[in-house]
Amino acid sequence: MVKAVVGANWGDEGKGKITDMMAKDADIIVRFQGGANAGHTIVNDYGRFALHTLPSGVFYGHTTSVIGNGVALDIPKLFNEIKSIVDEGVPTPKILVSDRAQIVMPYHVLFDQYEEERLGKASFGSTKSGIAPFYSDKYAKIGFQVQELFDEETLKTKVQRVCETKNVLLEHLYHKPAINPDELLETLHEYRDMVAPYVADVGVFLNQALKDGKTILLEGQLGTLKDPDHGIYPMVTSSSTLAPYGCIGAGLPAQSIEQVVTVCKAYSSAVGAGAFVSEIFGDEADELRRRGGDKGEFGATTGRPRRVGWFDCVASKYGCRMQGTSDVAFTVLDVLGYLDEIPVCVGYEIDGEVTTEFPVTTKLEKAKPVFKTLPGWKCDIRGIRNYEDLPENCRNYVEFIEEQIGYPITMVSNGPGRDEIIYRKSNIK
């Protein structure tokens, strides 16, 4: 069976922890979109790790980790990430890289930087990992698939052709040094040798695994609101963050996903620019940022302070709907134990009218949050394993949010560790 773990919001919801936890009972974990621009933080028996390219299942000996065709594959980063976990004592993971995955080229990273510089104040707040130029080239059909590394003639001709267009932009738009095609070809030979041991026809592998009754976990990056179609365009990422895309980005049949676990954090956080209706500022925000996650709300890849805010029912209801949610994993609830009362965003006021439907970006920019304030529980809930043992106000918080978003919260996470999870029965179907 196939299960997906995806985010309802802007990312950083705690998908890494939930995937790591669910990977225990899975055979194969697949990354199906995105690149090394975001990261998961995972705390387990080996230590604390920030993964950017590797699937979160790499810490288990029994799993195979797959980089699907939908991923923006940065080969040196993959190579270094494997090395960094092995150096920490993690057994060498079994990894397969799709022969149809495309490669983040050194010039994608440069173009990402140059374009952000050129845009100045209007920049997207990119992590400058080359993701937007990578996906632009993929859809402009001038990207490089992994399989092309192994066909020298095709590679050589394409490198020449692509350098011609890239160099026009470098010279005339960005006023930067041109790419030398021979040097680029040399680099691609190095990439070929790094990736060669892992390359496979992942579609065949996964479809066989399905037939053999294996459990496959699709691991999403970022969340619904960063989806290029359904998110807060243009402040989005460049590949679909939605569970259905998991089939495309891995090479699985459309009907194969049986469970979609959508991860929602008990408060909101976002990196980069873009509308964030329930955002808070000042001391209130500093405190939540400092206490958030397992080491504060700072980007796993960039170290940038994340923007924080109260839980947003409007965004999360939409986020869950677009994912096709069967279960909500509600994470980082323990962090809110310091608050006397907790505001929850239950509606958006736009031009004098209140809505609970997530709007298009131009309207979103005008939205003001409508808050309802719930009482806090003022204690540490870490270590609790039964839902009934949570303080009443804490259960009320969970149940109020569940009712607002309309999807069943079946897991509550009260700590970063693998075992810090509370399963609950929900009345919502």
How far is the CA of 317 from the CAs of 109, 262, 328, 345, in angstroms? 35, 11, 11, 11
φ and ψ of 358, to 5 deg: -70, 125
Q: Which of 20, 40, 99, 327 is catalytic?
A: 40
Shortest distance, position 60 Cβ to ligand GDP, whole Å: 17
From 21, 103, 232, 335, residue interacting with ligand GDP (rule: CB under 6 A): 335
250 vs 421, which CB is nearer to ligand GDP?
A: 421
Known catalytic residue at 40: yes
Does residue 55 interact with ligand GDP by CB under 6 A?
no
- The 8 Å CB, 24+ separation contacts for 391-397 are 394/333, 397/266, 397/333, 397/336, 397/342, 397/344
Shortest distance, position 139 Cβ to ligand GDP, whole Å: 25
Q: Which residues contact 291 (CB under 8 A, 6 or more apart)?
A: 335, 338
Contact 29, 51 (CB under 8 A): no
Fill in the per-residue mask, 297 to 316: x = in contact with ligand GDP (CB under 6 A), - = not in contact. Answer: ---x----------------
The whole-angstrom separation of Cα 62 and Cα 64 is: 7
Shortest distance, position 300 Cβ to ligand GDP, whole Å: 5
How far is the CA of 260 from the CAs of 217, 231, 387, in angstroms? 10, 18, 22
Interacting stretch for ligand GDP, rule CB under 6 A, among 72-80, 116-124, 332-340, 388-396?
Answer: 332-340
Does residue 81 interact with ligand GDP by CB under 6 A?
no
Does residue 35 interact with ligand GDP by CB under 6 A?
no
Does residue 293 interact with ligand GDP by CB under 6 A?
yes
The whole-angstrom separation of Cα 197 and Cα 361 is: 44
Within 13 Å of residue 185, how many CA atoms lie on the same side as its CB? Answer: 16
11 vs 251, which CB is nearer to ligand GDP?
A: 11
Does residue 16 interact with ligand GDP by CB under 6 A?
yes
Q: In the complex, which residues of this chain contact ligand GDP (CB under 6 A)?
A: 7, 11-17, 40-41, 43, 293-294, 300, 331-332, 334-335, 413-416, 420
Residues labelled as active-site residues: 12, 40
